[in-house]
Structure 1
Amino acid sequence: MLITLADILSPSEIEEVRATLGSMRFEDGRAPAGCSAKLVKDNEQAREGAALTLLRERVTKAMSSNQVFVLAARPRALTPLLFSRYTEGRHYGSHVDNLLMNGVRTDVSFTLFLADPESYDGGELVIESVSGEVEIKLSAGHLVAYDSTSLHRVAPVTRGERLVAVGWAQSYVRDSAKRELLFGLETARRNPCAQAGKTSEFDLLAKNSANLIRMWAEV
C-alpha cells in the first residue's frame, strides 16, 4: 500500500522545524548504515542530541495525531525519526530497508518532506516494483507511506537541498494486503456515518472491521 498525506505539519510548524535543523550539526549518513547501505548511501543526518530528541518528539506527535496515517499504518511502534539532508550531488541508491531498526520490525516506511519542491531539483523518492517505478516529490509538510519490503532509492539532487524526516512503523497488522483491506473498510464505515449517522449498514461494517482486526492484529 502506498499513500500520500497532506499537511502533517502546518506552514508555521515547517518553518520552525527547518529553523531548528538549521542550527543543528549534521554528520555523514553512512556512519550508522549497514555494510550494503554504505555502498549506495550519500546523505547527511542530524546529529544525536537533546535538540534532536525534542524535534523527534514534536514531529512524531504530529504524525500520530493524523487519523489517516494511523488507519493506514496501524502503528504498534515507531522508530526514532531520522532527519536527512541531501545537498547537490547527493543521493541514495536502490535498497530495501532493514527488517529491524531499534528493535522495531519495519512494516511501513514513511518520508515527511520538509523542503519546498521548488527549492531543489532532483531528489525524488523512487519506489520500484514489477509494474514500474513511482517517483514521489511532495510539498513541504506532506508525507508518503509505503511498504518497507519495497526496493526504493532517492534520485540525485542537482540543485538546492532536499530535507526530509524518515522513519518506520511496526504495524499491528503485519500483512500489507490486510492493512489495505482494513483501511478501505474503515473509510467505507466512516463515510455513511458522517452522512447519515449510525445506521444498520454502519453497524455491519463496524462489526466486520473490528472482527478482522481481532483475527489479524499482533499484540
Structure 2
Amino acid sequence: MLTVIPDLLDARAVAQVRALIDAAQWVDGNITSGHQSALAKRNLQLPEDAPEAQQAGQIVLEALGRSPLFIAAALPLKIFPPLFNSYAGGQAFGTHVDNAVRIQQGSGFRLRSDLSITVFLEEAEAYEGGELTVETNFGVQRVKLPAGHAVLYPSSSLHRVEPVTSGRRVASFFWIQSMVRDDGARQMLFDLDSSIQALAVDRGHDDAQVIRLTSVYHNLLRRWSDA
C-alpha cells in the first residue's frame, strides 16, 4: 500500500532540517547505491556519517515517533537512519527496486527493507518535475507533496524520481523493517485498525464490539509479526 503522511514535519521542523543540511557538503548520490541503482541514479546526497545528516535525521525520527499514522501503517521494528538527497538541473533516478537488505556504513546495523519512505523538504511549487513515481498493483502513482509531508510505500515496488527540470528537489529517504513483512497483511491490519478507531469514536473504547475487534487485531498481529 502507498500511504501519505501529511505534516509529518511542521514548518519549524522543516526549517531546522534545511538549516542543517543546506550548510553541509553534498556528494555524489551513488555512495549508497547498489549495482542496479548506480546505473540509473543521478543526484546529490549527504554522507551517512555527516554530522548535519545525523542531527537532521534525529529530528525526522522524533517526528515519526509522534505519528500515529506512521506507526499504524508501518508497524516498525527497525528504522534505517534517515538519509538526504537533492535533485536539480535535470537530475533523476530511473526505475529501480530498493535493495532487500540495507546495511549502515561503519556499523553492524542492518535491516530488511520492507517499506521505503520519502519526506519532502522543498515546497512542490519551488521546482518542476521530481515526482516520485511508484508502480503499484493499482497502477502507476505519481507523488509530489508539500514540504513536511511524507509518503510510505513497499520497498519491493518499482519506482523512480522524474527529472527535475528547474529548481531543486530536496528530501529525506530511508527504509523500515516492519514487524509484519507481508504487505497484504500490513494492509489488512491497517484497515482493521482504522475501522476500530472510527468505531471507538462513535461507541467509545469500552464498547463490547470495539473490544472484540481490538482483540482480533492483536491476535492477527501476534500471528503475523516477527517481533
Quickly name the TM-score band, shorter chain normalised: over 0.9
Check whether the contact 2:13–2:59 (CA below 8 A) recurs between aligned residues.
no
Task: Please give the secondary structure, in 2, of the residue aligned with 1:53.
Answer: helix
**In structure 2, distance between residues paired with 1:69 and 1:21:** 24
Task: Please give the secondary structure, in 2, of the residue aligned with 1:31.
Answer: helix
Of 142-151 and 121-130, deviating more is 121-130
**In structure 1, distance between residues paired with 2:14 and 2:137:** 35
* 1:176 is aligned to 2:183: yes
Q: 1:159 aligns with which of 157, 162, 166?
A: 166
Of 132-141 and 187-196, deviating more is 187-196
Aligned residue for 1:101? 102
Q: Deviations over 1:158-184 (max 9, x none)?
A: 000000000110000010010010011
Task: Please give the secondary structure, in 1, of the residue aligned with 2:180.
Answer: coil
Aligned residue for 2:107? none
**In structure 2, distance between residues paired with 1:131 and 1:144:** 16
- Give the paired residue count: 219
The AA in structure 2 aligned to 1:168 is W
Q: Deviations over 1:19-51 (max 9, x none)?
A: 111111100001231222111000111133222
* 1:116 is aligned to 2:117: no
CA pair 129-186 structure 1, distance change in 2 beyond 3 A: closer
The AA in structure 2 aligned to 1:163 is V
Check whether the contact 2:53–2:83 (CA below 8 A) recurs between aligned residues.
no
Aligned residue for 1:5? 5
Point out where structure 1 has 5 or more consecutive residues left out of the alignment.
none
* 1:205 is aligned to 2:206: no
| CA-CA distance at 1:132 after TM superposition | 3.0
**In structure 2, distance between residues paired with 1:132 and 1:182:** 22
Q: Deviations over 1:36-69 (max 9, x none)?
A: 2111000111133222212111111101220110
Task: Please give the secondary structure, in 2, of the residue aligned with 1:183.
Answer: helix
Aligned residue for 1:188? 195
Length-normalised TM-score, structure 1: 0.97
**In structure 2, distance between residues paired with 1:203 and 1:132:** 36
**In structure 2, distance between residues paired with 1:106 and 1:31:** 18
Point out where structure 2 has 5 or more consecutive residues left out of the alignment.
104-109
**RMSD over equivalenced CA pairs, Å:** 1.1
Task: Please give the secondary structure, in 2, of the residue aligned with 1:218.
Answer: coil
**In structure 2, distance between residues paired with 1:10 and 1:195:** 29
Aligned residue for 2:73? 72
**In structure 2, distance between residues paired with 1:98 and 1:79:** 13
**In structure 1, distance between residues paired with 2:139 and 2:191:** 24
Task: Please give the secondary structure, in 2, of the residue aligned with 1:85.
Answer: strand
**In structure 2, distance between residues paired with 1:199 and 1:151:** 43
**In structure 2, distance between residues paired with 1:193 and 1:130:** 31
* 1:43 is aligned to 2:43: yes
